[in-house]
Structure 1
Amino acid sequence: MAPRSKRPRTATPEEEEEEEEQVEERQQGASHLVSFLTGFADHHVDDDLPPLLDHNGDAIDDFSASDEDEEPEEEPDEADVEPDDDGVHTPSRKTGLVGVATPSRSTRGTPKKRKAPGSATPRKTPKRPVNGEETADEGIIRKSTADAYFTLMKASRTSGNSYSLLADPLSARAYEKYIAESSAVRGRISPPEAHRGRFRTWSKELEAGFNLLFYGFGSKRPTLNLFAQEELAKKGHVVVINGTFPGLGVRDIVSEIEDRLGVPQAISVPPSCSTPLERAAHRIYAHFLPPSAISDPSEWPTANAPLYLVIHNIDAPALRSPKSLAILSLLASCPRIHLIASYDHVHTPLIFSSSLSNTPPHHYTPGSWSGTPLSSRGFYWVNHSLTTYAPYDLELSYLRMSAQTLTPSTSGPAGGVSEEGTLQILKSVPHLSARLLKLLFTLQLARLPADSKWHVAYPASASAPPFAVDGNLLKKLAKDKWIAGEGERFEAFLGEYRDHGLVVEAAQARGGEDGEEEGREGRWLWVPLGKAAVERVLESMVGVE
């Protein structure tokens, strides 16, 4: 019997209604899809599934129960609740995105995870004003890092008043009166004789090869002079140098030693000595070598006693220049030349490098002198405090003499300048400007008369001195030497020097010894420095070519 084919089964009205509901579920929007994916575990509850367990293994009976510290549940939005939802779970044969039946809404709450004590996320607390002060509202414009930098680095206003202006100017007569009244008290505090007990210690340190450097408040001149008279004069030659004397330079010191002690001029010097000052310093060094260091003393005469250089105020401007320190360090490196120096400026030790301060004097074995000193240089200082409270009488008298020499006859910045000021100006001017000043120095020395009265500083005046240089001649030479080809550049260089008082000019010139006419009109330029100061400045400008 042939099988009978099955007739298609017609759907009942209930089944058609159920299919229509499933079609509507497929056509729902994204909000229902998200709710379906995230709320499946909450809504789809089956009696056959095992009960949910908490972290202690106990069954969770009430999903809506929560701890006291849990946040309240959010009320369901009315828009999310379907009006036809009666809260009864309707099984469905259709599968969702995760392959399970689509659940309907459930009124049961979502299980909450128990929170351990202290596990809650800390909330940020607003910054409270310090010390009860309220913070100002910065507005919409706030300062950046650059604004803060420029605010911090802006120039602050300072008062032009100073305590020195409140005191009346002290004249020389008033100073001498006050010093005379206090000299008796100062003499009782620390007289020079009170330091005699230290003379023997200082002498032993000199014999050991050290040099002495004294500091402290008050003039140290009386005490050091007493030490030189009572101790050093018995052992060798003593030369006392007043560093604050105006116009004193290391050239004067070397020349005085050669003249007073009779240093032979026939002593050979190293070929590297290019200037007369260096040759003279090397002759003095060789003359005071130990006799045992020279193989043939008959051909190389040496001094019969050591040399002691007592330098008052080694921090004087003329002695602290690099060239002066180089000459003095060469002399101090000789085994039989000893330095005893003092200073008053608090920053004086900074001019001595560590190598200059700690390098010991040279040592020569018998017959080892070859004619050239060792390359090392140094003072080998031992510092001593020497506070005497003595007045600076002689030092201030030298200072007044120097001020009178530089006092201009006319007011203004062009009245005059010191040698130290000239060196400072040369450090800040361009190379061509320095060449122009060197040219003026050279012409001024060439025109200097033989009479010594013109060898001192000549301040600004209505009439120029005989050694003044014609401005037109200086301009022509500057153009020929490629220093200042244009007139504007030439005037700019001269204007800078005039502002500093380094170059002065006059419209008339005095007559010279060579029969020059008195009262010559023109433009006459000169530097208000003495002959010795101009020569020392020229020595420092060797590299300016």
Structure 2
Amino acid sequence: MGNNGNWEGDDDENEEEELEHLRSYFLSKELASSAKRSKHKLIDINVVDEQELREAASQIRPKHENEVNTLMDSYKTIYPEWLLALRCGFGLLMYGFGSKKALIEDFASTALTEYSVVVVNGYLQTINLKQVVMALAEVLWDQVKTKQADRKRKGWASYGDLPKSQQPFNSQSMEDLLTFLDQVGIEDGDFFVCIVIHNIDGPGLRDTETQQYLARLAACAHIRMVASIDHVNASLFWDKNMAHTQFNWCWFHVPTFAPYKVEGMFYPLILAHGSANQFVKTATIVLLSLTRNAQSVFKVLAEHQLCHPEEGMPINDLYSVCRERFLVSSLVTLNAHLTEFKDHELVKIKRNPDGQDCLHIPLTAEALQKVMLDIN
């Protein structure tokens, strides 16, 4: 028993010694990394002008052109399958690496010649969804009237009187337009209008309300949807009912390896100088993530700078105004807000002509007014 006790004691000592070695190892690594940590910031990088970078990027010749063309041609053999899926009431969702814009437009121009097609460029920053729905309603209305006239000319039974109250569409609400698209009286099951959406996961379509409207649109009786996605989390936009019942997606993996030339034109380049609009957008996003009081403190500083563009605002003056407006209770609270502003580079220290250190927002008056308008 005594020997066993000694062995157990030795094991405990060895374990503590090993843990101490591990602590020393990680502590030395942490100290070494902190000593080597660079003080440079991303904004200190001397990046090139955006226009210059775009021109240089446009000169890059794509590789493996023959293989890419062969791959694109192979998808044309699947066009009949895609068309059959649309006729059966499914929506087509294309995914895979590379721009799918040319592929989808080729499918629409060759396989959907019997149908009307409305194209939506979802990669644009802003999209007026109601204008899209109005365009679909007008196309469908014209098609219905044409079919009605053909049936009357041939002496066939008509669909019944067309509801004149449906026009003009520009005076109808979104609900009325969707109701018309879903309930217009056409017995022909193979009659539909196709809507093509390049990047249904684009920045102008990502909000929940827009996706719900698109799902309801896809579920309309005489609407068929063909869309593409590129964002890795795009499927999280839709719940089970939206994906399997309303959109009724048929997923097709169609990597094209084609460059995102058109889609990429509307995104700022990472290695290029950010534009003023991009800086305003970034500042707005940061401010909206802060508390109401922090936003109010920033507004006080912004108001002073707009009235005195050549002067910064002393911290004591800012503290006095904020105390009067009950925005802060102590200088410690104000310093906490200012630290957050400085960390995000929304505020910098500027020395006035009298030698006093003052607070300054590194934005032009126009950009600052835009930020104020956005956060209000």
Does 1:176 pair with 2:58? yes
Distance 1:345 1:507 in 2: 32
Question: Normalization by structure 1: what TM-score?
Answer: 0.42
Choose from 426, 430, 448 the match for 2:291.
Answer: 430
Per-residue deviation, 1:226: 0.8
- Cα contact 2:322–2:328 (8 A) shared by 1: yes
What residue number does 2:235 align with? Answer: 349
2:53 and 2:7 mapped to 1: Cα distance? 64
1:229 and 1:211 mapped to 2: Cα distance?
A: 17
TM value normalised by structure 2: 0.58
Looking at structure 2, the residues matched to 483 and 204 of structure 1 have their Cα atoms a distance apart, in angstroms, of: 67
- CA distance in structure 2 between the partners assigned to 1:356 and 1:154 by the alignment: 52
Rounded to whole Å, the distance in 2 between the matches of 1:505 and 1:189 is 55
**Which residue is equivalent to 1:285?**
178
Paired residue secondary structure (1:197)? helix
**2:215 matched to which residue of 1?**
329
Offset from partner CA, 1:254-312 (integer Å, 9 cap, x none): 23443686561444xxxxxxxxxxx4x3233123123239xxxxxxxxxxx64422222
The equivalent of 2:369 in structure 1 is 526
Displacement after TM superposition at 1:155 (Å): 12
1:216 alignment partner, one of 90, 96, 119: 96
Say which structure is richer in helix. 2
Residues 278-427 of structure 1 mapped to structure 2, 5 A cutoff: 279=173, 281-292=174-185, 306-358=192-244, 360-361=245-246, 379-400=247-268, 406-408=274-276, 416-418=279-281, 426=288
Q: Secondary structure at the match of 1:416?
A: helix
Contact 2:346–2:361 (Cα < 8 Å) also in 1: no
Give per-residue Cα distances to partners, 1:487-541, cap 9 Å, x unaligned: 966786577457546799479857xxxxxxxxxxxxx943459x9xx5xx88xxx
Go from structure 1 to structure 2 and tell me whether the alpha carbon gap of 1:194 and 1:324 turns closer, same or farther (over 3 Å shift).
Answer: same
Cα 1:528–1:435 change in 2 (3 A) is closer
Picking from 76, 87, 94, the partner of 1:207 is 87
Deviation of 1:434 after TM superposition, in Å, equals 6.5
Aligned positions, number: 301
Tell me if the contact between 2:91 and 2:225 (Cα under 8 Å) persists in the aligned partners: yes
Within the candidate set 299, 323, 327, 1:484 is matched to 327
Q: Distance in 2 between matches of 1:225 and 1:195?
A: 13
In structure 1, the residue corresponding to 2:252 is in which secondary structure? strand
- For residues 309 and 178 of structure 1, the distance between their equivalents in structure 2, rounded to whole angstroms, comes to 33
Distance 2:252 2:268 in 1: 29
Indicate the residue corresponding to 2:105 in structure 1.
225
3-state SS in 1 of match to 2:204: coil
Q: Deviations over 1:471-492 (max 9, x none)?
A: xxxx999999x88366966786
- Helix, strand or coil at the partner of 2:214: helix
How many Å separate the matches in 2 of 1:229 and 1:337? 17
Partner of 1:264: 169
Cα distance between partner residues in 2 of 1:307 and 1:352: 23
- The question of whether the paired residues in 1 share the 8 Å contact of 2:296 and 2:327 is answered with no
Gaps of 5+ in 2: 39-46, 139-167, 310-318, 348-359
- Report the 3-state secondary structure (helix = DSSP H, G, I; strand = E; otherwise coil) of the residue aligned with 1:178: coil
Amino acid at match of 1:350: L
SS in 2 for 1:288: helix
Conserved? CA contact 2:53–2:272, under 8 Å: no
Q: Which residue of 2 aligns with 1:190?
A: 71
- Look up the equivalent residue of 1:264 and give its one-letter code: F
Separation in 2, partners of 1:400, 1:507? 19
Matched to 1:190, the amino acid is L
Which amino acid letter does the alignment assign opposite residue 119 of structure 2?
V
**Structure 2 CA distance, aligned partners of 1:223 and 1:483?**
60
The residue type equivalent to 1:204 in the other structure is L
CA deviations on 1:306-354 (whole Å, 9 max, x unpaired) are 4422222223233222233233223223222332221223232233333
In structure 2, what residue type is equivalent to 1:407?
Answer: S
Q: Is the contact between residue 416 and residue 501 of structure 1 (CA under 8 Å) also seen in structure 2?
A: no
SS of the residue aligned with 2:194? strand
Structure 2 contact 136–193 (Cα < 8 Å) conserved: no
